[in-house]
Each structure stands twice: as structure tokens, then as C-alpha cells.
Amino acid sequence: MPVVTFTSPTLHRDVRAYATAGDTHTLLSVAEKNGVKLPHDCRDGECGSCLIKVDYVEGKPKMGMALTEKEKDRLKEMGRITQAQIEDAEVRDIPPPYRLACQFVVRDEEIIVTFSGQPGEG
């Protein structure tokens, strides 16, 4: 079962969310379902306001490597991902540190999502 822990200075305490394995919800929708106010605007990988930092819990499988083309382009424009990190993700299953919550489809993994509460600042 996917387990997502949201952490942010905007939250009184960390929010731990259990998503349904096998569904295709984005991290943004998981946040909303759990009352976490993650900054967002377009919901379509264009504006970059849903930038988040993602850490993977040690010893758990890492499965967040499927970046959409939009997400790659936007993160590159924001200076939050390098071509080398994209190759690491796609070829070596090494996840990049920054993602867009509206493009990140939650799978069966355990992750920690950090955000500042300021749109586009991660």
C-alpha cells in the first residue's frame, strides 16, 4: 500500500496518508483527499506551482521514475532537474529529488513529500 507522509511548515504536524494501491491518483489528489493544502494552479504540469521534494524511505522500493514530458520540461525550466537526473531516473531507477505533485502518480511505495507552502518553491 502506498504510504505518503506530507511535511511542511504550513502543517501543524506531518500528515500520513495511505493511498490505494493500483489506482492512478496523483500526489496532488492524495494531498487534497487528506486535507493537505499543497499549492497548485493548472493541475496539468504547466505552471510549476505544485513543486515538491520527494524522499524515499530507506529500504522500500522506489517507483516514482515515470516523469511525463511536461513534467521534465517544466522542471528543467525551473532549474530543478538536470538532464543527468532525467537519465538516472529513466535508465538507472534513481529518482530525482524534485517533482510536480500534479504529475506524480502514486504507486506502491513509501515516500516523504516536503513542500514550503509557497507556489513553485518546493
**DSSP code at position 1:** -
Interface stretch with ligand FES, choices 17-25, 36-44, 55-63, 91-99 (CB under 6 A) = 36-44
User: Which of these ranges, 5-13, 41-49, 53-61, 78-86, lies near ligand FES under the rule CB under 6 A?
Assistant: 41-49
Shortest distance (Å) from residue 56 CB to ligand FES: 21
Answer whether 106's CB lies under 8 Å from 27's CB: yes
The total number of residues written for the chain in this structure:
122
86 is a contact residue toward ligand FES (CB under 6 A)? no
- Judge whether 116 and 8 are in contact, CB under 8 Å: yes
Does position 105 interact with ligand FES (CB under 6 A)? The reply is no
